[in-house]
Amino acid sequence: SNEVSPYFYVYAKLALLRYAVSGEEGGGVPASGHAAGGLLGVSLYTPRLVELTMPRRRVDMQADLGTLPASAGGGVPHLYLQQLPCSWGSLFLPRPWLLFRAYMQARLEGAPGPLVPRSASNGWSTSWKKFMIELSHLSGGVFLYPSFPNQSSLSTNHLEKGEHIGGKKNKLTHRPIDFTVPLLLNLSDLRQLWPPQPLDALPVRDLFTRPTRGSE
């Protein structure tokens, strides 16, 4: 199960007001620009592991974003964009969510889907996240992620046994050190996110946490 920070609602609401109400919400339609498909949702969680590569690899977004040239003058960015959807605490924006529901229904009824190059998700059979990954791959849409030291987040996962974690069909190892992150408990840390930058000023990572062309 997931556990959330006391400030998860403040973070989610402010992100919604800044990026959805202001018109930067995506519709999943390919377009030119920094984040082609617009914003699909807001993640509460910062990942420590790239799950779509085999073997999986660790990632430290604070260290990664700290290498950006612009960070020297303004500190390490605390928000970034990534194509990967998050299943451990997210706010999905209304218009992209309706598009996703229609897309997933079509896929469940047998419509063909894309093969996402080099993605482990191609082999998944029962996860809704597989279809959201396909949609973000097709549209170029992205999700807003927080980034704080030690991957402190607005949600965390305690790895209770279920269909995917500890399930008979899942042979992957889930270590707490790779998935259970500290919760953001200090309001002063959250204040570092605002005023938030426009989408086209944020660093962008692809499904595999690699920098996208022109995002640096």
Cα–Cα distance measured from residue 141 to residue 118, given in angstroms and rounded to the nearest whole number: 19
Q: pLDDT over 90 for what percent of the chain? A: 51
The rounded distance, in Å, linking the Cα atoms of 130 and 108 is 12
Mean pLDDT for all residues in the chain: 83
pLDDT at 162 (0 to 100):
54
Indicate if the pLDDT at residue 129 is higher than 70.
yes
Give the pLDDT mean for 8-24: 83
Least confident segment among 65-69, 126-130, 132-136:
65-69
Give me the pLDDT at residue 12, please. Answer: 94
Beta-bridged to residue 84, according to DSSP, are none
Average pLDDT over residues 44-61: 91
Report how far residue 181's alpha carbon sits from residue 87's, in angstroms, rounded to the nearest whole number.
14
Average pLDDT over every residue of 58-71? 77
Rounded distance between C-alpha atoms, residue 114 and residue 185, angstroms: 40
Tokens of 150: 């030690």
pTM score: 0.85
Average pLDDT of the residues in 46-75: 79
Q: Note the pLDDT of residue 68.
A: 65
Beta pairing partners, 80: 145
* CA angle, residues 131, 135, 137, in degrees to nearest 5: 115
Give 20-47 pLDDT, tens digit per residue: 776 555 543 333 334 446 899 999 999 9
Q: Which two tokens stand for residue 135?
A: 């949609």
Specify the residue for token string 């420590």.
Answer: 48
State pLDDT tens for residues 139-173: 999 999 999 989 999 999 887 665 555 545 555 67
Residue 175 pLDDT > 90: no
CB contact at 8 A, 135 and 103: yes
> Between these two residues, 111 and 167, which has the higher pLDDT value?
111
141 with 96: CB under 8 angstroms? Answer: yes
Amino acid at 181: V
Distance CA(58)–CA(15), nearest Å, equals 27
